[in-house]
Amino acid sequence: MTQDFASLGLAEPLLRALQRTGFTTPTPIQADAIPHLLAGRDLLGIAQTGTGKTAAFALPLLHQLHTARAATAPHSAHALILAPTRELALQIIESFKQLGDPRLRIAAVIGGQSRFAQVQRLRPGTDIVVGTPGRVRDLMGTNELRLGAVRHFVLDEADRMLDLGFIRDIERIASALPATRQSALFSATMPAEVEKLARSMLRDPVRVAVTPAEVVVPRIAQSVHFVPQAERSRLLVDLLGDQALARVIVFTRTKRGADRVAEALEGAGHGVAALHGNKSQPQRIKALDRFRDGRARVLVATDIAARGIDVAAVSHVINYDLPAQPEDYVHRIGRTARAGASGKAISFCDPQEAKMLRAIEHAAGTAIAVASGAPAARAPEAMPQFVRPARPAGQSRRRSRRRAA
């Protein structure tokens, strides 16, 4: 693997920005993807969050914008990046700001924020647009966002896009892009629908892959408490009595469940913020800001936060409810152990959910240890602990139903 960013051929200002942010060695997805993107190739990247994939497409794009600066027409952009959620779009923008030239013009085109302000930002033209499919298509329809000058197109979290029902918006957006462009598609999994989408959008793409088991499992200590639903709230409060749980994300399956857990923790005296689909965009931003700056020790979230939320130094992830889809377990626990750090993932499991737990172990490619010596922790008799091989990165999975997140 490449030993440092300098050997990748990136422009000197980018190397200085990487040095300022403390990044010296590329991750596997960065080492594999960056040379191909710098060479102008289309790319199909299979990588989950926490692998450094944002920088894998951001650095080549910034390099190309730096070496070939050009004016933009009104309401136009040189690059378009699509993300499935507002939170991921804003996180991508922050990454570009950390790595890019301060003069870089970048616009967020997302729902839940002022449409008027976004149009004003686009009016003189911009270098990069980062957006969600619905708002991008909306502004295309009124000609307030024009895609005829786009030279670089990135579709991030493609499998999540399909899960959320954005396929028609994506197809409409892609049809408006110039035929001559560089495109990259990133996805954590590669079901048949994503393969089909990649074939329609990419020209002779290079395929690079980092599997979840290679990246997540070795750095995360995983454990499970067998506990009935009615006892989970008490167990969670007891666990949070340990100050080693310094910054914690608690995942629930439903929005109502997230609110109930947040209320219980607040009543127990813990600083807590809640994040789910019923929250407005200002409320979501406020919740994440409180969690990032330490005013809230605990963030209670649905799977809307499982991908794309990059908060430093998350010490623990707690699955209050097991995820509906086994693959989502890997995305959830990937909120910890980021940037080379270690972390811990704790799951609550009703004894009747043993089959679901086994499916999760299969997806993660590892056995999950039964917690010992903790309140309410007990394993059902004869509960098997085993390691099964992780699913190959290219293997199709059943498309998830749209979840209430």
Q: Of the ranges 45-59, 111-125, 380-394, which is most confident?
A: 111-125
Cα–Cα distance measured from residue 30 to residue 57, given in angstroms and rounded to the nearest whole number = 8
CATH at residue 240: 3.40.50.300
- Same domain for 294 and 278: yes
- Same domain for 306 and 271: yes
- Same domain for 319 and 266: yes
- Angle between helix axes 28-38 and 53-67 (nearest 10 degrees) is 30
Q: Contact at 8 Å (CB) between 286 and 312?
A: no
- Same domain for 230 and 168: no
| Rg for the chain, CA atoms, rounded | 21
Residue 91 parent element (H or E): helix 86-99
Average pLDDT for residues 243-257, to the nearest whole number? 95
- Same domain for 220 and 192: no
Residues 283-311: tens digit of each pLDDT: 888 898 899 899 999 999 998 766 656 78
- Same domain for 161 and 239: no
Quote the domain boundaries for residue 245.
Answer: 216-370
Residue 274 within any structural domain of the chain: yes
Judged by DSSP in three states, 44 sits in strand
pLDDT band at 131 (very low <50, low <70, confident <90, very high): very high
What is the number of domains present in the chain? 2
Domain boundary among 189, 210, 231: 210
Average pLDDT for residues 66-77, to the nearest whole number? 88
- Same domain for 196 and 59: yes
Percentage of the residues of the chain whose pLDDT score is greater than 70: 86
Residue 379 within any structural domain of the chain: no
Average pLDDT for residues 207-211, to the nearest whole number? 86
- Same domain for 190 and 300: no
The reported pLDDT for the residue numbered 332 is 87
- Same domain for 274 and 176: no
Cα–Cα distance measured from residue 174 to residue 329, given in angstroms and rounded to the nearest whole number = 31
Cα–Cα distance measured from residue 34 to residue 14, given in angstroms and rounded to the nearest whole number = 13
- Same domain for 318 and 190: no
DSSP assignments along 258-278, one per residue: HHHHHHHHHHTT--EEEE-TT
CB atoms within 10 A of CB 200: 11
Listed as own residue / partner, the contacts of 377-382 with beta carbons closer than 8 Å and 24 or more positions apart are 377/225, 377/226, 377/227, 377/235, 378/226, 378/227, 379/226, 380/226, 380/351, 380/354
Residue 392 within any structural domain of the chain: no
Cα–Cα distance measured from residue 53 to residue 29, given in angstroms and rounded to the nearest whole number = 6
- Same domain for 146 and 53: yes
Segment among 99-103, 155-159, 199-203, 345-349 with least mean pLDDT: 99-103
Give the global pTM.
0.69
Q: Would you say residue 398 has pLDDT above 50?
A: no
